[in-house]
Amino acid sequence: MAKRAPFTLTRRGMLGLGLGAAGLMLPRFGVADAVSGNKRRFLFIHCSGGWDTTYVFQPAFGSSVVDMEADSTAAEVGGITFVDNEKRPFVRSYMEKYADRTCVINGMEVSSITHERCKRIVMTGSAEGQTDDWGAILAGESTERYLLPYVVLSGTAFTSKYSSRVVRVGNFGQLTSLLSGNALRATDQHFDLPSGSRQALVDAFVRERMAGKSPNSAIAAAAVGALDDAAALDAYSDTLQITGVSGGCYMLHEHMGTVWDVFSQGLARTALIEYKGWCSEGWDTHSSNERQGIHFDELFDSLARGLADLDERTGPDGSPLVDETVVVVFSEMGRTPQLNGGNGRDHWMFTSAMLIGAGVKGGQVLGGFDDTGVGKAIDFTTGEALDEGTGLLAKNFGASILALGDVDPGETTPLAAVLA
């Protein structure tokens, strides 16, 4: 298993790019204050490529349309029905330990079968550009202040209004180079970075000049804010480590641990990890569909390990971090009900998702699929699957997440059944 080398944030590294770049690189926010209101934090795990719901979430045995594994069976543990198979022991063991924290949502429609469009829809509720994803909205609308509001370890974050809240680590650790100053050293231009004492003089000069500007000057506020942020990060230089995800055989729970590090120190409200399955082979199985089983087993193994780690963590105020953390697990699409000629499945516009943790009413499955693999209508109050009525869309899924984060979902109806 290839591991990613962590990096440590230091004041010199923060200031190595100079004031202007530091201000652009990081949002102008400080460390979270202890204020009233909902303090839930959210980790979004995107299973990239489109997962096959019949391997775990959709026990469609008896359907004449949906192809199911011959050696799989329907099972129920802790109120959650799922597809059981001895080749995927970690799915069952996860359910046995964490079903009471987990809500499965079935039959969600993403209204497309192209990866990028589906990804945008499931993460923002809309196929249109200039939209923010759920993580960005939660970070941007928070009543608390964060130094690194929305940490993107890997994957695509969609932002517009809240772009300044996003801190992208970079799949290959690009943020490491920015913080250390190596981004400048690696160019074909020669740069001599200032010493710590010289940088301190520059900081003092900038503060003095900005003090004479209008109180409403955005430039002055950004300049002083960048200096404040650098100083705030310095307090965490010995403890804060953030790793990037660059593919290969990595374990998801290791990167979940990185997120818990950031959350426990009150530095971020939301985070995103893109999980491409076993050895980053991806979930887009147009052939050799059995890889879905391998991906799912590793996913649930990592989720269990990550949650066990979370249970041992404390938040910035010393309370259990698990009491304020929600894990959102999803894929941008599902797979067709029937196998194709290559023993794989093609793109399908109905899928499933999981919500795990704080504020989530666990031990239940909401919504469902009909005998042809199409998402059924749903009662938004109870979560019951219906034969007639309104179907569950990605925007309703997102509204439920926003409601969990104490953010007004607007005119979009959330799933009230999700909320504990």
- 118 in a domain, yes or no? yes
Residue 400 in contact with residue 355, Cβ under 8 Å? yes
Does 247 reside within a domain?
no
> Does residue 294 lie in a domain region?
yes
* Spatial separation of the C-alpha atoms in residues 226 and 30, rounded to whole Å: 10
How far apart (Å, rounded) are the C-alpha atoms in residues 279 and 295? 9
Residue 180: inside a domain, yes or no? Answer: yes
Q: What is the pLDDT of residue 226?
A: 76
What is the CA 188 to chain-centroid distance, rounded? 36
Q: Write out the residue range of the structural domain in which residue 387 sits.
A: 39-173+252-418
Q: What is the full DSSP assignment across 381-405? A: TT--EESSSPBPBHHHHHHHHHHHT
The tokens for 23 are 């201000």
What is the C-alpha to C-alpha distance for residues 35 and 230, in angstroms, rounded to an integer?
A: 23
Indicate whether 62 and 148 sit together in one domain: yes
301 backbone φψ class: left, alpha, beta (φ>0; ψ -120 to 50) = alpha
What is the model's pLDDT at position 249? 74
H helix and E strand count, the chain: 12, 16
| Same domain membership, residue 183 and residue 60 | no
**Whole-model pTM?**
0.87
Helix 115-124 vs helix 394-404: angle between axes, to the nearest 10 degrees?
A: 40
Residues 230 and 141 in one domain: no
Same structural domain, 262 and 401: yes
Same domain, 117 and 195: no
> Which helix (H) or strand (E) is 259 found in, with range?
helix 252-264
CA dist 327 and 354 (Å) reads 8
Say whether both 192 and 322 belong to one domain. no
Q: Which residue type sits at 380?
A: F
383: domain CATH number? Answer: 3.40.720.10
C-alpha 349 chain-centroid distance:
21
Return the DSSP state at 369: B
Output the six-digit token pair for 133.
Answer: 């994803």
**Last residue of some domain: 242, 266, 294?**
242
Look at strands 41-47 and 270-275 and give their pairing: parallel
Do 265 and 372 have their domain in common? Answer: yes
Using CA atoms, how far residue 274 sits from 211, 344, 402, 411, in Å, is 43, 22, 20, 29
Stated as kind and residue range, the H or E segment containing 335 is: strand 334-335
127 and 70 co-located in one domain: yes
Question: Do the domain assignments include residue 46?
Answer: yes
Q: What is the 3-state secondary structure (H, E, C) of 105-156?
A: EEEEECCCCCHHHHHHHHHHCCCCCCCCCHHHHHHHCCCCCCCCCEEECCCC
Residue ending a domain, choose from 242, 261, 290: 242
328 & 221 share domain: no
User: Does the residue 337 lie in any domain?
Assistant: yes
Q: Using CA atoms, how far apart are residues 180 and 10, in angstroms rounded to an integer?
A: 8
262, 383: one domain: yes
48 and 132 in a single domain? The answer is yes
Same domain, 274 and 363: yes
Regions of the chain short of the pLDDT cut 70: 1-37, 171-182, 213-216, 233-241, 243-248
Distance of alpha carbon 111 from alpha carbon 108, whole angstroms: 9
Structural domain includes residue 381: yes
Residue 219 lies in a domain: yes
Averaged confidence pLDDT in the chain:
86
3-class SS at 48?
coil
Q: Dig out the tokens for 414 from the structure.
A: 């959330």
**pLDDT at residue 12, rounded to an integer:** 32
The domain tally of the chain equals 2
Burial class of residue 232 (count of CB atoms within 10 Å of its CB; 0-12, 13-18, 19+): middle
Q: Last residue of a domain, which of 183, 218, 242?
A: 242
